[in-house]
Amino acid sequence: MRAIDLSTLTWRKSSYSNQDGGECLEVADHHPLVPVRDSKNPTGPALVFEAGAWSSFVAGVKGGRLSA
């Protein structure tokens, strides 16, 4: 698998994140991939999803088909 340079990406924090530093994540649009990382550890590891898989996951969460 080819390494992806994530250092130049523009990350955006989840709209559900708060100033208290709760369970937050950040995503970066890097079509056709979507890197996701823990906002409290921006230099730590990131998970990278195919854009279609990420869209399906987000739709499932918003539609209530997935829950913790």
Q: How confident is the model at residue 11 (pLDDT cuts 50, 70, 90)?
A: very high
Q: Provide the domain limits for residue 47.
A: 12-16+23-62
Q: Is the pLDDT of residue 29 over 70?
A: yes
- Look at residue 68 and tell me if it is in a domain: no
Residue 39 within a domain: yes
Answer yes or no: is 4 within a domain.
no
Q: Taken in order 15, 41, 38, 47, is the CA torsion positive or negative?
A: positive
Residue 28: inside a domain: yes
CA distance 7 to 4: 9
- Entry pTM: 0.75
User: Does the pLDDT of residue 64 top 70, yes or no?
Assistant: yes
pLDDT at 52: 93
Confidence band, pLDDT 50/70/90 cuts, at residue 61: confident
Provide φ and ψ at 18, rounded to 5°: -130, 175
pLDDT of residue 46: 92
Asked whether residue 67 is assigned to any structural domain, the reply reads: no
> Does some domain include residue 7?
no
Helix (H) or strand (E) holding 37: strand 33-38
Q: Is residue 2 part of a domain?
A: no
What sign has the CA pseudo-torsion 3, 51, 58, 29? Answer: positive
How many distinct structural domains can be found in the chain? 1
The pair of structure tokens assigned to 12 is 């955006």
